[in-house]
Homo-oligomer: A and B are copies of this chain.
Amino acid sequence: MKSIVLLGTGNVATHLFTAINKTLSFKIVQVYNHNYKSLENFKDVPVTTKFEEISQADIYLIAVKDDQITRVSQNLKSNDSLVLHTAGGKSMEILNTHPRTGVFYPLQTFSKKKEMEFDNIPICLEAGNEDDYHILENLAGELKGKVYRIDSAQRRSLHVAAVFVSNFVNYLYTEGEQICRENKIPFEILLPLIKETAHKASLMSPYDAQTGPALRNDIEVIEGHLAQLTAQQKEIYTLLTHSIQNLHGKEL
């Protein structure tokens, strides 16, 4: 049984807390956060707001906001224990004041309300040495996640790729929702299309799945679309249409 002190109380921390406590070989022995309020949600476990009260443990799992990781790490006394962070956008190096470091990055969108299973969620692992890598592998395995060995440089790229396929995609959904609302069309009409478009990405390369007026260079339809849009939507429509044509034109 390995003991873990969890540092942080946000979405990722909350989901990790629930999931880790269901494992056989890992146990969270304490939760730290700088303010007490958010610690109230953590029941049946010792909590603290003070660095000097942090318990000795096998693993320190830092799941705070990206810009707080360095501060928390520097205030933490790890002795000879393993120190991890969970951030896609941060290198392992920022933990370098500690002798044993690693990254445990679950690649998923977490929201507090929605319960989240780690089953089959990709978990990107990195560690400073092979023994510590195996500890991370065991933890990810007990959460039933899908393990990928990803170094800091790859993780940085993966993080930006995730912004394209998730944050930006969600923004395009918002645009679709707005267009529907302005024209008294229920947004739910678009949901099967959204779902199918996402599903297709698992069946074939998105490059091959591309369809639509941009790909066909259907100028009449494109002009008809542009005429309906706001200035901001027009700018996005034009840039993405040209991008599709550049990408596919090159290789046609």
Residues of A within 8 A of B (CB): 66-67, 89, 107-109, 111, 114, 120-122, 124, 148, 150, 153-154, 156-177, 179-180, 182-203, 205-207, 209-215, 218, 220-221, 224-225, 228-229, 232-233, 235-237, 239-240, 243-244, 246-247
Contact = CB atoms under 8 A, between A and B. Distances in A.
B164 A210 contact: no
A164 B176 contact: yes
B175 A164 contact: yes
Contacts of A169: 169, 172-173, 194, 197-198
Contacts of A158: 179-180, 183, 185, 189-190
Contacts of A174: 205-207, 210, 247
B198 A202 contact: no
Q: How many copies of this chain does the complex contain?
A: 2
B164 A179 contact: yes
A161 B176 contact: yes
Identify whether the interface residues of A are mostly helix, strand, loop, or mixed.
helix
Given A220-B67, A236-B243, A240-B236, A193 B211 contact: no
Contacts of A221: 66, 89, 159
A96 to B, nearest CB: 18
Among all A-B residue pairs, the 7 with the closest Cβ atoms: A167-B212, A198-B198, A173-B206, A165-B176, A157-B183, A161-B179, A161-B176
B203 A67 contact: no
B165 A194 contact: yes
A190 B165 contact: yes
A168 B176 CA distance: 11
Contacts of A114: 200, 203
A74 B78 CA distance: 80
